[in-house]
Amino acid sequence: MKTLSFNKKEGIAKIRVDTLDDLWHLSKIIEIGDKIAGEIKRKVKLSGEGERSKVVVKNYFAKITAKKIKLESAVLKVSGEILEGSEELQTGSAHTLDIFTGDIIKIEKSWKEYQLRRLEEAEKASKAPKALVVVLDDEQAHIAALTASGFQYLAGFELRLAKKRFVEKTDNGLGKVIAEILRLNSESNPQTIVIASPIFWKENLLEALKEKDAKIEKKIKLEGVSTGTKRALNELINRGVLEKVLKSSQLQKEFELIEELLVEIAKKGLAVYGKGVIEAVNANAVKILLFTDEIIEKAREKEKFSEFEQLIDKVEAQGGRVHIISTDNEAGEKLKGLGGIAALLRFKIN
């Protein structure tokens, strides 16, 4: 989650949603009576006769007063009356804002302290580095951290690299770049390191890094760019390379959590699943609560979502963390096979 702006006097926050977890946080922040502004997607039939008529999806701006908040598998639905919006929308009519990951919304409300803390915690989590990005050419190198909320520029270096691939090693400035990459990798442990350059400089850097740390090669992804300046970062964004890295990073995080869960279950260690989760929560033993996006929908269908919410609130009040796992990938399917809900524990309960 990224707070793009916050007007404390007017109580208006402009927020970008980055992950499924963000949707969960928003479902706990938004209350009945809050004013929410964003886009409404509606199907519109274009003029034409018979088979020539065409239905397209159009976006309309709308600001509504929230009357109902419903978190489904991968969307937060906020329903209410339209206060203002595009000309095509009638003020006072009932509409629903469907909030997905990637959307930007405005929330206008009287903010409570615990809601501000939740907002800060969600944004802090989204700032954790998912990848290091290194761009270079013969004259310069730049390093940035890629997070769910965007780029954080870290360092720049002057280089004096040869324009021929095979030359004797000299003090060309590359040693400082290598040392910084290794330091950042050790401190923040990113899941991916993207190295991008024109021609062969990325391969040269990779070889030099492998000499210092053979294991680092598994993290590295090589990309071609037209320049080693900061502009190359935007070039990677425009080509969708970094979006793929972020998505892969989220999937990797989910996979690692589920693998840790399965290992603990196999050795009858610090994990429970299914009905055992309730006992663990009551014993204040839950370190990380995991549940699928699908189980949210099922809880609502059975009108048991309030009980589910109380369980999650209790985990958070005890200092535990909560993660939503998407059933669109292998990790989610594995958790679904365990009943859709499980927990990693601080200590064994039996």
Tell me, yes or no, whether 150 lies in a domain: yes
CATH number at residue 167: 3.30.420.60
| Under 8 Å between Cβ of 300 and 309 | no
pLDDT in tens, 110-160: 998 878 888 888 888 777 778 899 999 999 999 999 877 678 889 999 998
Same domain, 59 and 87: yes
| Under 8 Å between Cβ of 285 and 264 | no
Q: What percent of the chain has pLDDT over 90?
A: 45
pTM, two decimal places? 0.64
Tell me, yes or no, whether 228 lies in a domain: yes
Q: Which residue's entry shows tokens 């780029």?
A: 151
Domain that holds residue 99: 2-126
Same domain, 120 and 139: no
For the chain, what is the domain count? 3
Q: Which residues contact 199 (CB under 8 A, 6 or more apart)?
A: none
What three-state secondary structure class fits 238? helix
Give the amino acid at 50: G
Same domain, 98 and 201: no
Same domain, 270 and 217: no
pLDDT given at position 169 = 55
Percentages (nearest 5) of helix, strand, coil residues in the chain: 35, 35, 30
Tell me, yes or no, whether 247 lies in a domain: no
Same domain, 6 and 119: yes
Among candidate residues 205, 239, 273, the one where a domain is terminated? 239
CATH number at residue 301: 3.30.1330.30
Same domain, 27 and 59: yes
Rounded to an integer, what distance in angstroms lies between the CA atom of residue 28 and that of residue 115?
8
End-to-end CA separation in angstroms for the chain: 37
pLDDT in tens, 16-48: 998 888 888 898 889 889 999 998 776 666 665
| Under 8 Å between Cβ of 228 and 197 | yes
Reported in sequence order, the residue ranges of 246-331 that DSSP labels E, i.e. its strands, are 271-273, 286-292, 321-325
